[in-house]
Homo-oligomer: A and B are copies of this chain.
């Protein structure tokens, strides 16, 4: 095997989360580790109808355009244009095989080995994997309750750091749960314009708000932003429909790379997605239902953790998305070590260390509230409490 493979394999650990998912697939373990939507909330019956309708058209089984089905790009352009407050056309949108493919192709388009990429601390592991595979010099900037600390970012830039890319999960951060404030969005956009880096605004969770919609995207504020989103969390992961929009040259380069990467997406799942996304009355109702259901679970989990652990934890506000970031205040606790005890007690989570770049997050855990019902979440928190007690006594 070539040197590059050995080198890449070093940096490219199998995603810790995915390995954990394998580990915790035991039926007696309640896993709060994944980032999976509840299959019961996925509109399977509606997908079946759209599939049936799509399959009356021979084009639904044929090869499609590399940038994605025109009808799907039209509806995505309309929706995204409304979010950023300026009109977009089908040519401005590239449909990708999930937004993970958008990240991966963007890394190939925007990065040379050794280029600096700034991610949030803690960071989305799928982004870390992509940037490390691209042999980027991955740095991190602190994240607090208001999202990325853009003042800290400005300091890094003033100290001479010249990133090619800054990656942000602007809405309901994975794993941290927070939303970037409007002021910081403006600050980030201004820094991008001033220093000439690209912002990848990675937004798979923006539609899953429980209290109110998030602020306008960073992409509304600068042309240096490539915005990513996905149908996986609001419709179905199995559609494998993600998308990106932004600078036209970048989109064209992504299209060229996608030709070589996989030629095109599935005309069938693109038609299904287009059908669902263009039925606005249905979609609005579906999203409202989804927000209410996931919101209820988020509150159940956060309340359960707070009542079980009291002042031994700090729990992130559960205002949207899928995750509740919980920091134990016990300075000695290593949640990676706690995990084994937790699995023995029938509950799993992702230790904070999985998301660390420069920091360790030894005392933190990411808990997913999306996959299980309120009752199951309550039981899982009780098990976590028992595991914590047992671990402290061991």
Q: Which A residues are within 8 Å of any B CB, using their own CB?
A: 1-5, 8-9, 12, 14-15, 18, 36-37, 39-40, 42, 44-45, 47-48, 51-52, 55, 58-64, 66, 96-98, 100-101, 104, 108-113, 115, 126, 129-130, 133, 164, 232, 236-240, 249-250, 253, 256-257, 259-269
Given contacts A5-B109, A48-B51, A257-B12, whether A266 and B238 have CB atoms under 8 Å apart is: yes
- In angstroms, Cα B112 to Cα A111, docked, is 17
> What's the minimum C-beta distance from A322 to chain B, rounded to whole angstroms?
13
- Does the CB pair B47–A104 fall under 8 Å? no
Query: What's the dominant secondary structure at chain A's contact region?
Result: helix
- In angstroms, Cα B113 to Cα A40, docked, is 47
> What's the minimum C-beta distance from A286 to chain B, rounded to whole angstroms?
14
From B40, B51, B61, contact of A42 by CB (8 A): B61
- Does the CB pair B262–A100 fall under 8 Å? yes
- In angstroms, Cα B256 to Cα A45, docked, is 33
26 pairs of residues in contact across A and B, judged by CB atoms under 8 Å: A2-B112, A2-B115, A4-B113, A15-B259, A18-B66, A18-B259, A42-B58, A42-B62, A44-B58, A44-B61, A47-B268, A51-B52, A52-B52, A62-B237, A62-B238, A63-B232, A64-B238, A100-B262, A100-B263, A104-B262, A126-B260, A130-B260, A238-B269, A239-B266, A240-B265, A266-B266
- Does the CB pair B52–A39 fall under 8 Å? no
> What's the minimum C-beta distance from A205 to chain B, rounded to whole angstroms?
15
- In angstroms, Cα B5 to Cα A40, docked, is 43
- In angstroms, Cα B256 to Cα A261, docked, is 15
Give chain B residues whose Cβ lies under 8 Å from the Cβ of A15.
Answer: 259
Given contacts A55-B51, A129-B260, A133-B260, whether A63 and B112 have CB atoms under 8 Å apart is: no
Give chain B residues whose Cβ lies under 8 Å from the Cβ of A61.
Answer: 39, 42, 44, 47, 236-239
- In angstroms, Cα B112 to Cα A239, docked, is 33
- Does the CB pair A39–B18 fall under 8 Å? no
- Does the CB pair B55–A263 fall under 8 Å? no
> What's the minimum C-beta distance from A150 to chain B, rounded to whole angstroms?
24
Give chain B residues whose Cβ lies under 8 Å from the Cβ of A55.
Answer: 44-45, 47-48, 51
- Does the CB pair B58–A262 fall under 8 Å? no
Given contacts A104-B260, A237-B63, whether A164 and B2 have CB atoms under 8 Å apart is: yes
- Does the CB pair B262–A98 fall under 8 Å? yes
- In angstroms, Cα B3 to Cα A115, docked, is 11
Considering only CB atoms, which chain B residue lies closest to A109 in the complex? Answer: B5
Give chain B residues whose Cβ lies under 8 Å from the Cβ of A126.
Answer: 260, 263
Considering only CB atoms, which chain B residue lies closest to A52 in the complex? Answer: B48
Give chain B residues whose Cβ lies under 8 Å from the Cβ of A42.
Answer: 58, 61-62
- Beyond A40-B58, A96-B262, 18 additional contacts (C-beta under 8 Å) are A1-B109, A2-B115, A9-B256, A12-B257, A37-B62, A39-B61, A42-B61, A42-B62, A47-B55, A60-B238, A97-B97, A100-B261, A101-B262, A104-B260, A238-B269, A240-B262, A240-B266, A266-B269
